[in-house]
Structure formats: structure tokens, C-alpha cells
Amino acid sequence: MDKKIVLLGPPGSGKGTQTERLCAELKLTKISTGDLLREAVRNNTPLGVKAKGYMDAGRLVPNELVVDLVKEKIKCVEGGVILDGFPRSLEQAELLDRFAKVDLAVDIEVNEDNLVRRLTLRRTCRSCNAVYHLEFNPPKVESICDKCGGELFQRSDDTERTVRERLKVYKEQTLPLTKYYSKKGILRKVDGEGDIGTVYQRVLKAIKG
Ligand code: AP5
């Protein structure tokens, strides 16, 4: 598949989880701004140093730190792409349109109480970014990644307080993107409630049309 797909949805709606599966099955390349920024923070790069405060506070990292990152990555990709976590605002969507043509935007919808529960019990692999949930998708061995044996940790922005702030930022800045892509006729909404496999089938159907 060689589509450029934007995955929308609030924090915790399952964008990262579904992206992993879609990339494996449809041979798409993942571009996750959250993963790229966390890697920069981990490696203490100039970008990471500048981004960390915004991320820990649950706010968006400024465009000048994010947009070129995506532009560079997308230039190097042959074939289809899933953009997980980008764009996050109308301004980012308009900038994206200048260097790539989005074929489809899939919006995963989940109610707020479930989002908070999903995020505060999430664990992420330090080595490969695989995502788990202590209740809904636990690792086979506590604190160890099933896929690579890496150590699982809790993201610093997964505390309830920061999660609430991220949800606020999402409603103010990212939610308007559903109208933006709907007007272009490329928005597909997916019910994100239910187990991971059920949601995956819905996302797949939305993408394959
Ligand atoms: P980012 O990493 O993009 O975070 P997010 O959008 O807040 O999304 P999450 O990764 O928290 O959730 P997700 O939807 O991927 O859910 P997941 O699959 O993990 O961004 C982090 C920060 O980076 C931002 O706050 C910002 O500061 C900065 N940033 C990133 N992009 C930026 C941009 N473009 N511009 C500016 N700043 C940017 O699932 C969540 C949990 O639920 C997991 O535990 C999972 O196992 C579980 N789960 C998933 N699906 C289900 C299901 N169906 N049922 C039960 N549990 C489920």
C-alpha cells in the first residue's frame, strides 16, 4: 500500500498500538513524532533538551522543532506512510500539505474516562517503543518487553495530571483537524472502544474502504 495516512485521535486512543499492527500487515512506514521526540530527549540532543519541558507539561512542542523532523523523514520514505501524532494543529496540517499529499485521515474515538485509564496504566519499552497496558495488554514477564526483552517504563507524561492537560490541549488544538480533513472528503471515523483486535479490524476496514 502506498497511501499517506494520518492517524488522529486523543492521547491514549490507541494510535501507537494500531500503527504497529498496520505497519506490519500493510508494509507501511511509521513516522511517530512522539517516538522521535522521546528518542531525542533520551539521547539528550539539542532538540530533546528543548522539547522535554513541553512534553512533561503535556503541551505541544513548537512547530519549528517538529515540522522539519517530519519533512526530513517523509522525504526518505518510499511507499506508504502512517503519520502517528502529526499533524497536531491546523497550522501543522497546512504545513504538511505543502510537502506531502495526505490520502486519508483516520480518527479513533474513545471516551475520556477510558483514555485516562489506558494512559495511567500504560507501560512502554525503552528499547523498541512497544506499548503495553498493565490490565488490557500486559507483558508476559513483568516489566520486560515481550518483543525485545527491553525494560518497560512509565512515560513521564502519563501521570493523571499531565494526561488531563494533554486531553485539554487535544480538544483545543487537535480536534479541529477532524473538520479540516472532513472538508477535504478524506476523513474516516473509527469507534476506538473495545479490545485492541476489534479496533484494529475497524481501522483496517476504514483504510481499505
Ligand atoms: P505522543 O507520543 O504522540 O502522545 P499522544 O498523542 O498523547 O498519544 P499517546 O502515545 O499517549 O497515545 P496513543 O493514542 O498512541 O495510544 P497507545 O496506542 O499508546 O506525544 C507525546 C508528546 O510529544 C505530546 O504531548 C507533545 O508534547 C509532543 N508531540 C508529539 N507530536 C507532536 C506534534 N506533532 N507537535 C507538537 N508536539 C508533539 O495506547 C494507550 C494505552 O492504551 C496503552 O497502554 C495500550 O496498550 C492501551 N490500549 C490501546 N488500545 C486499546 C484498546 N482498544 N483497549 C484497551 N487498551 C488499549
Look up 15 and say whether it is catalytic.
yes
Task: Kindly report, residue by residue over 9-65, the tens digit of the pLDDT.
Answer: 999 999 999 999 999 999 999 999 999 999 999 999 999 999 999 999 999 999 999
- Prediction pTM value: 0.96
Closest CA to 194 of 8, 14, 38, 44: 14
Which residues lie below 8 Å from residue 176, measured CB to CB, with a gap of 6+? 89, 90
Find out whether the beta carbon of 61 lies less than 6 Å from any atom of ligand 1.
yes
CA of 37, closest atom in ligand 1: 23
* pLDDT above 90 (res 1): no
Look up 161 and say whether it is catalytic.
no
Q: Looking at domain 4-28+79-208, what is its CATH homologous superfamily?
A: P-loop containing nucleotide triphosphate hydrolases (3.40.50.300)
Annotated domain spans of the chain: 4-28+79-208
**CA end-to-end span of the chain, whole Å?**
13
CA of 169 to the centre of ligand 1 (A): 13
Task: Kindly report, residue by residue over 163-188, the tens digit of the pLDDT.
Answer: 999 999 999 999 999 999 999 999 99
Sign of the C-alpha dihedral computed for residues 158, 26, 40 and 175 taken in this order: negative
CA of 51, closest atom in ligand 1: 27
CA of 130 to the centre of ligand 1 (A): 12
